[in-house]
């Protein structure tokens, strides 16, 4: 199971939000590039980066930071947040050197873009499915839809997506454990590679995510508060069985 340290960027700083609410932010650093290097030095094999300004507004003031971040580390980065055009996908993947991008709002609202991106870049395009009470949410989690997360996952698979970041919004940043039941449903009912996100608080949460067959797990607040130390998390991810 791949362990993804999370770097959420808002206003050029590293922040964590509670349940995705822009007004409930905690700043954990003023330099996302420095944070990326820190996680790489501690052994991270991937980074999960979210451009929160892009997610909320659809356009980003953080482009220079994203480019610097991608070029400052040697490990692959998956990036999400406000990626809603082919031009931006191309820039991130071909110019900045991001390994793969996450389409969230675009995956729901712009199937044509998703299909075009998958046709061109294959598995470098992954989907972000953010759910509230089993229903998908978009635009930085601000807008709810009537589409079930599982239904959306199946649709993504039909289009050619093989990996999804699945986030339970109610759990995100709350330090009360992930929604293992719905994550397991996503794994079993879609056949996708599911990266578990939201609420991972302790090493037991990681062990349980691995037991239900998660392809990866994203750790955010627990790393920044010291509740989980990255080397210990990586050990769990690498364990066989």
Catalytic residue IDs: 8, 130
Q: Per the structure block, which two tokens stand in for 70?
A: 């991608």
Query: Which residue is associated with the tokens 């050197």?
Result: 97
Which residues does residue 103 pair with via DSSP β-bridges, in sequence order?
127
95 CB burial (10 A radius; 0-12, 13-18, 19+): exposed
* Alpha carbons 128 and 148: distance in angstroms, whole number: 13
Helices (runs of H) and strands (runs of E) counted in the chain? 11, 12
Spatial neighbors of 63 by CB under 8 A, at least 6 apart, are none
Burial class (CB in 10 A: 0-12, 13-18, 19+), 36: buried
- Residue 233 neighbours by CB under 8 Å, 6+ apart: 3, 203, 206, 217, 219, 223
Could you tell me whether strands 216-219 and 2-10 are parallel, antiparallel, or unpaired per DSSP bridges?
parallel
């Amino acid at each position: 199971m791949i362990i993804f340290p999370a770097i959420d960027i808002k206003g050029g700083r590293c922040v964590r939000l509670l349940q995705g609410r822009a007004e409930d932010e905690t700043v954990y650093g003023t330099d996302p590039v420095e944070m990326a290097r820190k996680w790489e030095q501690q052994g991270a094999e991937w980074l999960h980066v979210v451009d929160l300004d892009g997610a909320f507004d659809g356009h980003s003031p953080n482009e220079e930071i994203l480019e610097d971040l991608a070029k400052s580390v040697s490990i692959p980065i998956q990036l999400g947040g406000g990626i809603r055009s082919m031009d931006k996908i191309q820039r991130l993947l071909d110019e900045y050197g991001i390994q793969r991008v996450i389409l969230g709002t675009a995956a729901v609202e712009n199937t044509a873009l998703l299909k075009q991106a998958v046709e061109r870049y294959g598995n470098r395009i992954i989907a972000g499915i953010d759910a509230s009470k089993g229903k998908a949410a978009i635009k930085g989690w601000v807008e709810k839809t009537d589409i079930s997360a599982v239904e959306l996952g199946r649709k993504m698979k039909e289009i050619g997506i093989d990996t999804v970041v699945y986030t339970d919004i109610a759990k995100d940043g709350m330090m009360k454990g992930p929604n293992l039941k719905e994550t397991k449903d996503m794994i079993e009912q879609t056949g996708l590679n599911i990266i578990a996100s939201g609420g991972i608080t302790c090493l037991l949460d990681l062990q349980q995510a691995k037991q239900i067959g998660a392809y990866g797990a994203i750790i955010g607040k627990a790393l920044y508060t010291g509740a989980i130390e990255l080397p210990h998390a990586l050990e769990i991810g690498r364990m066989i069985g």
